[in-house]
Structure 1
Amino acid sequence: MKLSKKLILLGIIPTIIFTLISFFYLIPETKKSIYAEKDIQIRTNVDGAYSIVSYYYSLSQTGALTDQEAQAQAKEITSKMRYGEGGYYWIDDINYINLMHAVNPKIVGTNRAAERDKRDVLFIKRFIDGAVQNKSEGFYSNFWFPKPNETDASEKRGYSKHFEPWGWIVSTGIYIDDVDTIVQKQITAIIVINTTLMLVTFMFTYWFSRKKIVQPLENVISKLGEMANSGGDLTQKIIIDSNDELGQLASVVNSLLNSMRQLIRQISQTSEQVAAAAEELTANAEQSAKATTQVAEIITEVAAGAEKQVNAVDATVAVVEQVSAGVQQVAASANAVSGKAEMTAAAANEGDKALNAAMSQMDSIERTVSGSAQVVMKLGERSKEIGQIVDTISGIAGQTNLLALNAAIEAARAGEHGRGFAVVAEEVRKLAEQSQEAAKQIATLISEIQAETDNAVVAMSDGTREVKAGADVVNDAGKAFKEIVLLIGEVSSQVREISAAIQQMASGSQQIVSSVRDIDRISKDAAGQTQTVSAATEEQAASMEEIAASSQELARMAEELQGTIKKFRV
């Protein structure tokens, strides 16, 4: 679809939308508004008649009129009331009996419960029942009833209200068939207005789109087509005398053409530079290929020398590892000797400690034996003293025995009076004999103890001499052990120094082995790298040949680009 048609359609669409809104929203709302006005009208009219009935009811309540008079006057007044074009009232009671009808007095007094309209609806019964049920609000209902001097029924809108004191239903109705006529007139007006608006919009949109949009765009398209068909004529310029988006579009296209002209000039210059650079690159690539070939030959010789170096380093590694193993064995032996020397020194120290303890024990024994000899000698002296005491006790016991004997003799002489004393004297004599016997036994034991004490003193003297001799021997052994400990300490120190030196030698040999291995690894890496470099140089030589070929192709393409650029006119 062309742009002009799209713009026309864009202008007509709002009119179509407004028409649809009118048909589907505005017209139904207008119809509802008319019906609402009708409802207000008939309710207001019924309220007027209702107020008259209420007024006469109040007169009957005050006694100014009787109920019959008040009702009769109320009927008469409402029967004469009119509104609009033929609007009138009628009154029924709650038993469906008509009490007043303004235009048809013949039906007064008849029961209208069974009265139906043309759609078979009991419209009177509906009015009365609805008013009774909605006492304060009243009741609306539609029904069909012929107009005056017509036989066909027309639709009518009615309203009824219940006057409860008298049981009356005051009603009225207006024809609503004119609502459709009013709505139809509005529909016709809307159609005419929208059709006119649509035609005006179509004509204006067509003129405006052609003048302000389509023709400038066709101008742009024509200029661009000429540029494309001319094979690259970029010297043309698009002119649109406007400040709107189309004018901006022309300005942007002109800027684009200007940028393209500058770009073509730059490409032309660059292609010439590329062609010259390609020729230089070809020459340089050929020289680089020759140099790379020479480097590859040299690297090959270096790789052969590196292989020989790797073999020599491998042999050196084997020899150094053997030397390191020997040093490790010597270090292990030195460590073992050092350990034995330290164990010997420890044993000698323990022996020295034992001799010192023995010497201390011998001194203690000597002191103990000397003390024991003195004690035994004192014991002998005490035994002699005890012997003397025992002799004294034995003498006393003998004297006591004599005294007891004399006392017994004297008691016998005394007769009966001395019998008790004789008994005591006898007992004393027995005790004296026992004491004398015990003293003899003690004297015997003391003699034996003195003999044993003398023997002990002699033995103690001999033991003291032996202890002194043993102490002298132990002292000599202690001096010898101290000299041994000193010598073993010197030996152990020398062994430790030797072991430390061997350990340093072993560590140095390990470092030598590690260094030689590093040399071996580096030599192998160097050999591998030389081989890699050799392969890389060969690949580089091949790449340089490819670069030379590519540069020649680049020169050819640059010449073709120059030929293409020359087609453009800038």
Structure 2
Amino acid sequence: MKNKSSLMNKAFKNYRWVTTGIMLLGILIFVTVAYLMTESVGKVVILTLVAICSNALLLVGLIFPLKYFVSNYNDVMESMKQGDLKLFKRINEFESNKMFSKLIRSIASVLEEFVELVKGSFVTVESITSTTRTVNQYSDEAISAVEEISRMMQQIAGGATRQAAQSQTGEALMETLSEEITLAYNNCHLIMEETNKMMKVNKEGHVSIATLQERAQSANNATHEISDMISLLMEKMKDIALFVETIESIASQTNLLALNAAIEAARAGEAGRGFGVVAEEIRKLADQSHNSTNEIKNLVASIEVETSTVNEAMIKMNSVSEEEKEAVASAKEVFNKIAVSIEAIIEKILLTNEAISKVNQDKEQVNRVIEEVA
């Protein structure tokens, strides 16, 4: 990291030298152009100015901001890959880059909502589990009551055919039977109430899953969008590398022309002395331009490496996003199965309620028979 910082500082230092050289070159050209500059020297100066200005603008306006963004974005992607989805705490690192900050904010918001929905789904599942336990408890009590009713009905049937002296025992059994029937009837109502609550919770969970599925799709789309932008960025870096090579070629040609101009000035003797000074300054600027292009090439190479790392992280993020999408779909299927099971439970409870109502009617008939026998 220190080497990268030192490299950027050296590039800025070269940029200041280039700017100073351009100003000096302008003054020298203004003084000597009227009587020394030939057509070939004019080309030398123009090429030198183009190379130096292009290097300075490229270095300050594009390479350093891009280098800063890619370096920080790579760290963020690594954090997301490890499961850290809270990007808001690092969003200020991208505020200076309007090109990407809006997209990063959008992804961070989607991921935060995604996490909240997942937490809500866990709460819903826990609620359904608790309600299911309650329903099972009431169902067990209802089954026990029905078994007790069946046993007492058998006793009553046997006692009704015995002697009238046993009628008091039958009356006691009928009182117990009446209590058991009432208990079973009340348990059925409680089961119905708990089942309705469970159905309501399941519907809410189903809605949450649908929202979660929508958010997961949004996150997946945003991830693919960033992946596309990273691919485009890598293509642009290749274009920048070609542009830097072109500038380096121009600087080399400028250096060669300046050398030829210096030779010609030496041949001209005293008359070419001023021309030689201009040629020497042009050669120095060409050397500085060459050094700056080397610094830019090193920065571009470093950015390409980090961009490749970010691209690999995005590929892994795409894979994780697809897995999350499948998990949400599976959760939705589970909630659908829960809804089907609840409907089946309600149907059985209704049948049990009808059976208990019929037992209650039979109880009244048995009471009348016992009274007649007594």
Rg larger for: 1
Q: Which one has the bigger strand percentage?
A: 1
Q: Flag the structure with more relative contact order, 1 or 2, with Cα contacts below 8 A and sequence separation at least 6.
A: 2
Which band: TM-score by shorter chain?
Answer: 0.3 to 0.5
TM-score norm. by structure 2 comes to 0.40
Q: Which one has the bigger helix percentage?
A: 2
TM-score norm. by structure 1 comes to 0.28
